[in-house]
Structure 1
């Protein structure tokens, strides 16, 4: 099963934005993520709807943050990218009439729901600035300014 990497990819992009002077184009971001600019625009549209980023068309346009990294949490971005499933495992519905399968599924649903709530509370306590503290901002800005490949 393929993992959903939208959260990780958008965190990557937003932290670059936080250390970059000016707007980043969809093309530059796409190059950074090794993807298509249309995918970038589609994903960033969800963040724009939440007012975390803004976009300008035309020469000198692109995407910019609307608030500092310290005001954005993992939970904010998780919700903005559509709240993808945090677990790759889940209940099976092969034998819906089987009481054992029903008991297993009920237990798994409860355990997963509790674990997801713990994870989301943790997401709420981590800002993008917390993540960005692990590296020197000028290096991140230089990577984006060069726009010559992935970071």
Structure 2
């Protein structure tokens, strides 16, 4: 079964937008997502309707964030995408006559609802600002590692 990566894809794009100096074109953002600009625009429609992003056409146009990063939670983004189900457990029958199947469906249904409720609470506690801070921490660490490697190479060359 193919996993739905829309939330991850859109969060990736939103962080790219936050790091940019101005509007980002659909083509640029689609390249970051490794997809077609039409797919990107389709995903961004819900975010625009939720007031998280805006777009403008023409020279100098593109997508921009409408809110500060600390005002946008991962849950907000998930809901703007139409709140797709996180857990995709299926039932053998939706409305079974069999009492065993009814017991199984009830148990699985409760577990799925509980898991999704917990996940939504956690997503509601994480903002795009927190993701941006984590990115910058990782970037700094990456640059430090690269500097150390360059210094080691330079020492070995002497």
1:90 Cα shift? 3.0
> Which residue pairs with 1:96 in the alignment?
96
* Contact 1:52 1:67 (8 Å CA) reproduced: yes
Encode CA deviations 1:69-121: one digit per residue, 9 max, x unaligned.
11100110000011111013232218822111110001111111111111111
> Of Structure 1 and Structure 2, which has the larger fraction of its residues in helix?
2
- 5+ residue gaps, structure 2, are 140-158
Query: 1:107 matched to which residue of 2?
Result: 107
Alignment partners' CA distance in 2, 1:72 and 1:100: 44
5 Å matches for 1:1-150?
1-93=1-93, 96-136=96-136
Instruction: State the TM-score, normalizing by the size of structure 1.
Output: 0.86
Distance 1:134 1:6 in 2: 20
| Structure 1: unaligned runs, 5 residues or longer | 140-151
Give the superposed CA RMSD: 1.6
Structure 2 CA distance for partners of 1:113 and 1:62, relative to 1, 3 Å: same
CA distance in 2, matches of 1:18, 1:69: 8
Q: Number of aligned residue pairs: give it.
A: 138
Distance in 1 separating the partners of 2:29 and 2:126: 23
Q: Which has the larger radius of gyration?
A: 2
In 2: Cα distance, 1:130 partner to 1:74 partner: 10
Distance 1:112 1:94 in 2: 15
Contact 1:3 1:88 in 2 (8 A): no
User: Alpha carbons of 1:104 and 1:20: their partners in 2 closer, same or farther (altered >3 Å)?
Assistant: same
